[in-house]
Structure 1
């Protein structure tokens, strides 16, 4: 039976919904006869409706050449930030995973923060200010050998306005004799200065203990996507036309376009109104290869691209339709899927595609993107503007699917009929059964199946495809996780 026939046969009414909900309630009650852990109970109660909480964010700020990147390397435990004995080496804010005393957090390195500067230094200062606003707490690094400078005092004023908890690190205290130099930093009014040597590791443990006391258990900035207009990340390998599409949608030359691959390095945000709705489009650097294989400026550009994707709700992945589909194109799409973002595949440069190439591209899509057939696809030309007006509908559809939820009653009624018509194959004399199912979260949709035995990957894909056929979800990845539970032995604890 096709999805359309199945839906037509149901002719859903309020009575059907009520009956399905009662049946689901019975299935849920029967599940209590199985061994459930605390996480199971939380999922069933709706307490685990979203992904695990993102770790809190700690920004490391200070004026140039006070040792911020050295401290970042010390905390992370390896050389991740470039360090040189000259000011201004770090220009962008870059985040790294870190942990201390069993607690995880994200550490953000920033460029030197100076007040009243121009040119690239002004851009660096803005990046540092943005890092503070996007952090749960801040470490202000000061050179204890120099003492309080006018720049330090100005930075403190800005930090107070941010209303973020601040931990003061008095760096370059390489011996106990120098600890008296740190005492003068009480004058900044930020409380106790922690004397440390980022280079040698001296005192960093006490500093990190203070950091953990300042950081919240749950991040107030990393969990939620930014409010306001929907955010769309333009992704793709270099020179597929991301900047050209942004300029076409904006109706003006907002970003530099050049045939040279790699023209864009930093994510560029632009608010653009399409069909009466405002969108924030983020033009990103072209993704050349895996992050760990990149070097220098390309490495930092790839990190910033990944950060822009994390803050977006939808990814427009551009491919050059005039060229064969590459492994890198597929990897970019997978990156968006792994990030759990809604997805629209944009086949750009359609004006350069002849009839033979169109048939060839369809075959490549069917062969190489068999697992991404659900993605919305738009063929257009950023250079001429042909069919760019079709983007809004595709983006709306993908985002609606990304936020869609299937009622528990309907989901279990559907899976019950599906399992009756197409039961799981018998393996080792046993046939696993789906005991109960619930949609645990949206953005992207995530379904949890409680089963009496292991559900094979092939059957999971079959269930996912049938869910898509029946309930839609065009343009969004969906996740299906299976929790195998055994029946509680008689006399066992509930």
Structure 2
């Protein structure tokens, strides 16, 4: 199968939405089906808030599993947003896996979900969860009255009955998805990162022109990374909205810890990161830590100063000083002053992202590189250290994405001189929006005979 055929096959896999009221074990069941810990699980209702997709397979059948936030009838506030996400997931699915807590039995919320499922007309497989032993199976059989067909007793925690459930699920799945597939062709992967409550989800929603991620004034609303294919200024991008990164991993526990790990994974699998900083507040150590994380991962970067609508002239002056003092290390990254709330300058993000990607993918020929190195070494030789003056003998670009250079030298070089070479490289070849990595390989000392 060719690459194009493989991509097309993946884009037409059937989609299964996992729905149910809060805390019935949807995410635990998702992890059981996947055979690994992917969905965030915690013994607190409402940990999953957005709809999140995972690749799954059973008995040779591949499908996409969509975990959703708990659906609550007549929900208000954030719960209403979560319910909307679940309803949208049902609409965009080929089949629905409806999870009910067999120990608790039927509730008004369950019956409300059933009404939504019936309206959708989608095939439904009913999972009676938390059936850890035979004593609970009798309670599971009472779920026949929902009118959704046979309830399959399972224990997501222990795996009991999951095989029968999956057999029933793949039977109702179409061979290919009836849902319109994502555009094939590899749009650039853009991770939206930043500390909690700086407006990352609001930015994704603005770019997607839809209520794609749950937005709230509560810090840390997004827990799972959420992927969205969006078009900005006529170009497709794959956006990844991530959980807010905490200052130190040890401060996070439970679901926040796993969310932090997956946020780091989102940075790793992205090509460019849009680091969102709250322009209305002073730049924090946490912001600087995130910028460092992106640079260390070798990803292209754009800095978006959000909430510009909440700033005034005085704040602009202070922010300018903060950028001058604190962000000098990352002055190579393009900056955009935006307001996700009003849409101000959001369309400029595409131009900044493309500029950073161009810098990230730049490659310099060995001939040009060594001619350049010869000029700067002649004009600014390395200082003499211990009676010796190390020289750059030869240089090569080992890779791009990010640009990585290896300098072969006659001796160890000061870190300050290496930074000087990096600065001159940027002046000569650009690399705007991309970190530049330089490795120094000093010639081994000859042993006296």
Q: Report if TM-score (shorter chain) is over 0.5.
A: yes
Q: Could you say which residue in structure 2 is the equivalent of 1:486?
A: 444
CA distance in 2, matches of 1:314, 1:240: 18
**Mapped contact 1:234–1:316 kept (Cα < 8 A):** yes
Structure 1 unmatched ranges of 5 or more: 1-85, 95-106, 113-119, 135-142, 162-225
Q: How many residues align?
A: 311
**Mapped contact 1:88–1:111 kept (Cα < 8 A):** no
Matched ranges for 1:328-343 at <5 A? 328-343=286-301
Task: Give the direction of change, closer, same or farther, for the CA distance of 1:485–1:154 in structure 2 (3 Å limit).
Answer: farther
Provide the secondary structure at the position in 1 that maps to 2:287.
Answer: helix
**TM-score, normalization by structure 2:** 0.62
> Deviations for 1:134-163, whole angstroms, at most 9, x for unmatched residues?
9xxxxxxxx999899535878999xxx9xx
CA distance in 1, matches of 2:39, 2:216: 28
Q: Where in structure 1 do 4 or more consecutive aligned residues deviate above 4 Å?
A: 86-94, 130-134, 143-149, 151-157, 487-491
Q: Residue 164 of structure 2 is aligned with which of 150, 163, 178?
A: 150
RMSD (Å) for aligned C-alpha atoms: 3.5
**Mapped contact 2:190–2:274 kept (Cα < 8 A):** yes
> Deviations for 1:300-353, whole angstroms, at most 9, x for unmatched residues?
111121121111110000000010000001111111111111000000011111
> Deviations for 1:215-240, whole angstroms, at most 9, x for unmatched residues?
xxxxxxxxxxx971001000011111
Matched ranges for 1:449-468 at <5 A? 449-468=407-426
Q: Could you say which residue in structure 1 is the equivalent of 2:56?
A: 129
**Mapped contact 1:93–1:128 kept (Cα < 8 A):** no
Q: Residue 381 of structure 1 is aligned with which of 313, 329, 339?
A: 339
**Mapped contact 2:359–2:433 kept (Cα < 8 A):** yes
CA distance in 2, matches of 1:145, 1:395: 44
Task: Give the direction of change, closer, same or farther, for the CA distance of 1:281–1:421 in structure 2 (3 Å limit).
Answer: same
Task: Give the direction of change, closer, same or farther, for the CA distance of 1:245–1:144 in structure 2 (3 Å limit).
Answer: closer
CA distance in 1, matches of 2:321, 2:426: 22
Q: Could you say which residue in structure 1 is the equivalent of 2:99?
A: none
**Mapped contact 1:434–1:449 kept (Cα < 8 A):** yes
Q: Could you say which residue in structure 1 is the equivalent of 2:428?
A: 470
> Deviations for 1:25-57, whole angstroms, at most 9, x for unmatched residues?
xxxxxxxxxxxxxxxxxxxxxxxxxxxxxxxxx
**TM-score, normalization by structure 1:** 0.57
Matched ranges for 1:110-129 at <5 A? 110=38, 127=54, 129=56
Matched ranges for 1:61-210 at <5 A? 90=28, 109-110=37-38, 127=54, 129=56, 150-151=164-165
Give the CA deviation at 1:109: 3.5
CA distance in 2, matches of 1:434, 1:146: 65
Q: Could you say which residue in structure 2 is the equivalent of 1:393?
A: 351
CA distance in 1, matches of 2:30, 2:419: 41
Task: Give the direction of change, closer, same or farther, for the CA distance of 1:307–1:93 in structure 2 (3 Å limit).
Answer: farther
Q: Could you say which residue in structure 2 is the equivalent of 1:218?
A: none
> Deviations for 1:224-278, whole angstroms, at most 9, x for unmatched residues?
xx97100100001111111111111122222221111111111111111122210
**Mapped contact 2:39–2:224 kept (Cα < 8 A):** no
**Mapped contact 1:111–1:128 kept (Cα < 8 A):** no
**Mapped contact 1:448–1:483 kept (Cα < 8 A):** yes
CA distance in 2, matches of 1:436, 1:475: 26
Provide the secondary structure at the position in 1 that maps to 2:364.
Answer: coil
Task: Give the direction of change, closer, same or farther, for the CA distance of 1:144–1:342 in structure 2 (3 Å limit).
Answer: closer
Q: Could you say which residue in structure 2 is the equivalent of 1:231?
A: 189
Task: Give the direction of change, closer, same or farther, for the CA distance of 1:320–1:453 in structure 2 (3 Å limit).
Answer: same
